Every structure is written in C-alpha cells, then in structure tokens.
Amino acid sequence: MELKPAEEKLTPISMDGLFQDFSPVWRRTPGRRKKFILNLTDVKFVDPYAAVTICLLIEAVAERLKARPRIIPPKEDLVTGYLGRLGFWDHIGLVADVEGGIDLAKKRVFPLDSDVLLELTPIRNATDVKNITKHLLKIIAANLEYSDKSVNKIINLISELCRNILDHSNAAGWATAQRYVHADGTRFLQIGVADAGIGIKESLKTRYPKAGRWTHQEAILKALQKDFSRFPKRGLGLYMVHRIVEDFKGHLHLRSGDSRVFLGTTQRGFSVDWFPGVQASISLSERAGA
C-alpha cells in the first residue's frame, strides 16, 4: 500500500486528506504484516501540525501492521533539510525505513537550541513539558515582542495543552513549533501539539456518562467550555487555550475522533476520518500586540 499526499503543502486542512487516505489501515486486522509506503516526494512545505501528526500516523501504522513502514522523502533538499532540522528523520527512523537514507548534513543543519524553532519533542512526563515551555519562551521573547504578561499567557496555553496529554490521553505525544514571517514582514508562531490517546470524547465519558452519546464535535466544543473536564474541580485546560487564542486573535485547529474544529475569526466544524487522540494547531501573530 502506497500513500502520496494530494497537496504539496501539509497543513491542518490538507492533512485531513492524508488521514482519509490512511483510514484503510485502521480497518485491517491488527498484526497482519503488509508493506506500507508514505511517498512525500512532491511535498514542498510541512507545518508543525503536519509534522507531529505524520509522526503519530507512522507510529500507528507500524504498531497496527507490526512492520516497519517505508518513507520516500521529499525531492526538494530544502524540505528534507527542514525536516532534519526538526529532528523528524531521527525520530521517524526508530519505527520506519527512509528510502535512500538521509545525508547526515541534511539531518542537523541548525543549532538544536534555535530561537525560531522547537524541535519535535516527545511529551512523556513533566520534565518534557518544562523543556518545551522553556524553549518556546525563548522563541517568543526573541521574535514576537509581546509584553511579559502576554508571554506568560501563551506559555501557560502551551503548558496546558501538553499537560492535557499527560493527564487525559493515556498516551505520549509530540510538540513542535516554528516562527514564520508573512510577506508584509509580520512574524507569527505556529505550534503543533498532538497525541494518539483516547481522545476528548472518551476522556469526558469517564466523568460524564452521557458523553458516550455525543458526537466527537460536540465533545470538542464542550471541552472548550469552562468547567468541562475529566476531573472534578478542573476544566480550565482547553477552555483557557480557547480564551487565550481568542485574546490574541489567533487561530486554533482542534481535531479529535472524526471531527476537526477551527476557531479564529469564525468557528467551523468539519467531519473528518477517524483517528485516535487529540491533535492541535495554534497560530499566534505579533499583530495581536502586547
């Protein structure tokens, strides 16, 4: 089985198509060995959300099929090099085979302690969360010129997303981030945080039995409300994330189960192909101000 993204740019929207292409894998009998190839030949852009979700997809395929998938890297050296800069080839090489290998010069082309990029970082414990927020603090301070109060809000936002994985998902996760520059010179930060755990609906069901009758989209929207949480006297996690993104006039894509919700200048829900866990993309612009 070989999959090839239909779009050259992999973002939260175009990744929905790749999730759909992956769906036959989940219908296969677990453990049945079968060749699987992800062909990234024509990919020309990978955002943080796409990077973390591809990691989850490949890990899930390897586990499902009990075999190492094969990855065909992008033909453009800049994209292959960027993925190396993220640490993508190092991590993906643990569960998959990369066709032709990757030149070591392309694997690490920038310092690890970059002030514009957070490498792909696993989220397994509180120390990982601390390291992620510490690095993001450096990126934000160097690029977005927010006030100290605003920086603290954003760091709390990312900390909440990462802690949600530890508290709710019953699985490990991934995080990465990148500072970009618009054509008009405005800088903005994109952050991807994702896991392949039990998902929002299943998490809420442990406290709200009626959640079993909710759609995944209903579960996402309820989780964004105050006082909805798996644990009593909690409930500020995704609610706080939503509020901070609103305050900074940012964008949030939140995907769980078979639904993706977009929150920005408008709120929209999309039916997508099922995948376990929760995947989030956040975009914050320096235009939001101090």
- pLDDT higher than 90, residue 121: yes
Flag whether pLDDT at 286 surpasses 80: no
* φ/ψ of residue 286, rounded to 5: -65, -15
Same domain for 283 and 148? yes
* C-alpha–C-alpha distance, residues 140 and 57, integer Å: 29
CA–CA dist 204, 43 (Å, integer) = 37
Judgement on whether residues 59 and 199 belong to the same structural domain of the protein: no
Query: 172 and 88: one domain?
Result: no
pLDDT band, residue 147 (cuts 50/70/90): confident
pLDDT of residue 229: 60
Structure tokens given for 141? 């301070």
Query: What is residue 288's predicted lDDT score, i.e. its pLDDT?
Result: 47
Considering only CA atoms, which of 38, 52, 47, 69 is closest in space to residue 278?
Answer: 52
Look over the chain and give the mean of its residue pLDDT values, rounded to a whole number. Answer: 84
Q: How many CB atoms lie within 10 A of CB 163?
A: 14
pLDDT score recorded for residue 248: 79
Q: Which of 103, 130, 155 is the last residue before a domain boundary?
A: 103
Mean pLDDT value of segment 106-110? 51
Identify whether residues 255 and 134 lie together within a single domain: yes
Which of 15 and 29 is assigned the larger pLDDT? 15
The candidate with the shortest Cα–Cα distance to 264, out of 277, 279, 246, 276, is 246
Residues 81 and 133 grouped into a single domain: no
CB 106 within 8 A of CB 84: yes
Number of domains in the chain: 2
CATH of the domain at 24: 3.30.750.24
Same-domain pairing of 73 and 211? no
CATH of the domain at 267: 3.30.565.10
pLDDT band, residue 235 (cuts 50/70/90): very low
Residue with tokens 């960027």: 82
> What pLDDT, on the 0 to 100 scale, is given for residue 115?
84
Has residue 232 got a pLDDT over 60? no
What is the mean predicted confidence (pLDDT) over 36-64?
93
Confidence check: pLDDT of 105 > 60? no
Listed residues 77, 103, 129: the one ending a domain: 103
Average pLDDT in the 127-132 region?
A: 92
* Range from 38-52, 62-76, 166-180, 198-212 that averages highest in pLDDT: 38-52
Same domain, 200 and 123: yes
To the nearest 10 degrees (0 to 180), the angle between helices 12-27 and 48-65 is: 0
Residue 241 pLDDT grade (very low, low, confident, very high; cuts 50, 70, 90): confident
* Mean pLDDT within 10-25: 90
Residues 46, 153 within the same domain: no
- Residue 202 belongs to what domain range? 110-290
| 259 & 220 share domain | yes
Of 108-117, 172-181, 189-198, 214-223, minimum mean pLDDT range: 108-117
